Amino acid sequence: MLGPLAQLAEPHSYDLCAEHATRLTAPRGWEVVRVAPEFVPTGPTPDDLLALADAVREAGRPREEAPAIQPDAPRRGHLRVLRGEGGS
């Protein structure tokens, strides 16, 4: 049976993209049953609107500026080579 994406994990079913779903063929003697439910477009949910408001609020917050690097200050690397035990 070929239908909409699964809402729950099923051990013997797999979700396919539209391209692969249209190319799916069944073994000889089998039949592919395509379940095509009617698509009902929905508007934004309250959760969608809250997520959008949170994203806008976060984008509007002032960002902390990184400390300025002084060109004449000595720079120290953050990587070091350590000699391993028993190495050559």
pLDDT digits (tens, 9 = 90+) for 25-73: 888 998 888 777 676 777 788 888 899 999 999 988 888 776 666 666 6
Q: Is residue 65 part of a domain?
A: no
What is the number of residues in the chain? 88
Residue 39 is assigned to a structural domain of this protein: yes
Q: Decide if 88 is inside a domain.
A: no
Q: Report if residue 34 sits inside a domain.
A: yes
Q: How far apart are CA 59 and CA 39, in angstroms?
A: 34
Q: What is the extent of the structural domain holding 35?
A: 18-59
Q: Considering the domain boundaries, does residue 79 fall inside one?
A: no
Residue 23, domain member (yes or no): yes
| Residue 37 counted as domain residue | yes
How many domains are there within the chain? 1
d(CA 59, CA 53): 10
pLDDT for 1-23, tens place per residue?
A: 666 666 777 777 777 777 888 88
Tell whether 46 is covered by a domain: yes
